[in-house]
Structure 1
């Protein structure tokens, strides 16, 4: 039995266990982690490196930063103000939070960070409105994921340059991706995503009780705590604001005078403890270790699938199929759907590295314009949100909403179909292949 077959079997069993739910997701992730190493699908040192992955550090750090903000009175004041302004209307609440999330997603390239910034205030608003976080956290999560870098602002301004780099590397420079082409292709999805998250996502979200999403005694202890002294109260605000500003402007400040995103998050977390906003044990308790282990297991699965060549096999098959299909809309549908599905179990960057060159070569052989196709491939990889393997933001919103994989999958079906249909139809119309 070759490595590819073994890797696929382990991956299938892992996903089945996640859906089955009889074994905790963290335990399943670690069993999967060990299986990939023991069978040789992943080198031991490569697997071990996933425990120190920068996204994992950001997840843990943002949990602490968020807990520090929640310890202050700021989130309570925000929640009270939002509730007063909305008049108790969940639609108005979602409108404000979703719009702010989409704006932040244009300047911060990581949906994980955007969600980490917004979720503490959303959680406080839920508490003030007496609704469970499970009704809103999925919507907030996909708003951060599906709209990331959709506009030519901040990190989004580099998308066209990256795609042109792929065209040059594959010697197909007859076509050029303009600065506004990615926005032209993705803007309708941004609008559809906003409308769905504001008006419809909360209606199909599960209503999971607070007792099921967090330890009840721990929550009571937090509620019974006295307000922070003035210094710690102000420190909590300042640290959170500076962390947020550092992440927003991190891409535009010269690298020589700014730390990477994971370091900004870690420093923010450390300062929350050093300044006394959180006690050491409170900071440790805020880190969701099961979700971190799920993240590590997911990264390991993605690495194994990439190393096994599974993505390349699928990609080569698609290229051959595209050459036989004459309808541009069907070709577009194939090159969006397959990367979208594959990114649910592989790292999005790895899928892009495989599929964008394949899409370019397929278009080159047909003498077609590849611009719309490669924008769709990238969009498909960036908007994966159906499993914890898709992007680090998913484990974070699963923790915030108390979701298991079944909850996430059920909520994902409608937006996945919407985004696929809108993206393919619109992009193939405004940026045609012929």
Structure 2
């Protein structure tokens, strides 16, 4: 059996592992990485290079830096301000809390964490406004899922670096810039925000107060809140985060590699006491790092063995040698958006990424817009409890049923779809 055949088999089995969602994604990724290495599809030097890749280091460090900002009182101060300025208006209050959710989503690395932080605040606000919490919670979940780490701050500031590594792996001579992934995702965030403030509350059910009342919410706050930092460390928490973001923006001008800036920020979070060693290690999420390393290894193996060319030729035969960009973009968006309602968004994106990049390489297209659009499609996952762990939690605390999710979510889905495809083609044409 040739290495090309072995690589194709590993590729297919890896995709099945991602899509089935029966095993941890990082385990599937590392297993395929191991098989590719011992079969010679991936050389030892290339395998080690994936682990020492600067993007993996950046990803790990930014988890810690973002946790440092999240440890400060910024979130609480902003949410308290929103309640004061809402002036007794439910719409104004929802506009404020939806905006707070967008902001928190840029420093909290997962939708479930964002929703956990925001939902007690919105529940309390709804009760004070004489509204059922079920009128406001869907909006917060929608925005938490769609806008997570979209802005070029926190871990979102380095997503373009990981994309560039993938482009190089698949032989694509394109360079994404810091704001490119954000620009692609911008319409989905705007639409989610508009729908969250003005549309979703109108379609959401009125189930009255949640069981457990205010005591349950107070207990939730006691569980998740920590002792505030002292004034010096509070300022350091803001300062380190700001310095890292500015450093990333100016990295090419000051001559310091981006990974060194992020690494310095992560170390300073611990040295200054903004985060304890235990808090920093808790913030360091290894599964997505292993998933990324495994993806790099698979990409290298596909290119080195020629298996990627076979896959690209198959995709080209299916869509034609000179397909319409509108057709290809719409196809990838629909596949991503529909499938993400039934499976893990991260698993789906990991499965679609090599297909997108191999297709772009075969057609000679710029992959920047298409890959980021597929990422957006995979993260617009809120219509079923199978899509992301945030949705079952939303259904539990909000009392929602499946029909409620569809009733409140169909219009945002259509609006986001309607703007994403033409926007991406306009901002990032394939050629």
TM range (shorter): 0.5 to 0.7
**Is contact 1:322-1:362 (8 Å) kept?**
no
**Is contact 1:102-1:143 (8 Å) kept?**
yes
Give distance in 1, aligned partners of 2:414 and 2:378: 15
The Cα shift of 1:124 comes to 0.8
The Cα shift of 1:396 comes to 2.0
The Cα shift of 1:410 comes to 2.0
**Alignment: residue pair count:** 308
**Is contact 1:95-1:198 (8 Å) kept?**
yes
Using a 3 Å threshold, how does the CA distance of structure 1 residues 239 and 151 change in structure 2: closer, same or farther?
same
Within 5 Å, give how 1:156-195 maps onto structure 2. Answer: 156-170=156-170, 172-195=171-194
The Cα shift of 1:372 comes to 0.9
The Cα shift of 1:371 comes to 1.2
The Cα shift of 1:193 comes to 1.9
Give distance in 2, aligned partners of 1:137 and 1:186: 22
Using a 3 Å threshold, how does the CA distance of structure 1 residues 316 and 132 change in structure 2: closer, same or farther?
farther
| 2:119 is aligned with 1:106 | no
Give distance in 1, aligned partners of 2:89 and 2:229: 27
Give distance in 2, aligned partners of 1:191 and 1:395: 24
Using a 3 Å threshold, how does the CA distance of structure 1 residues 426 and 315 change in structure 2: closer, same or farther?
same
Structure 2 counterpart SS, 1:106 = coil
The Cα shift of 1:254 comes to 3.7
Corresponding residue number in structure 2 for 1:253: 266
Corresponding residue number in structure 2 for 1:18: none
The Cα shift of 1:319 comes to 6.0
TM-score, reference length from structure 2 = 0.61
| 2:220 is aligned with 1:207 | no
**Is contact 2:312-2:358 (8 Å) kept?**
no
**Is contact 1:83-1:128 (8 Å) kept?**
no
| 2:343 is aligned with 1:360 | no
The Cα shift of 1:430 comes to 0.9
Structure 2 counterpart SS, 1:130 = coil
Unaligned runs of 5+ in 1: 12-35, 50-74, 266-313
| 2:135 is aligned with 1:125 | no
Corresponding residue number in structure 1 for 2:150: 150
The Cα shift of 1:317 comes to 8.1
| 2:380 is aligned with 1:383 | yes
Cα shift readout 1:34-59 (whole Å, capped 9, x = no counterpart): xx9xxxx957xx79x9xxxxxxxxxx
Give distance in 2, aligned partners of 1:422 and 1:234: 41
| Structural RMSD (CA) | 4.2
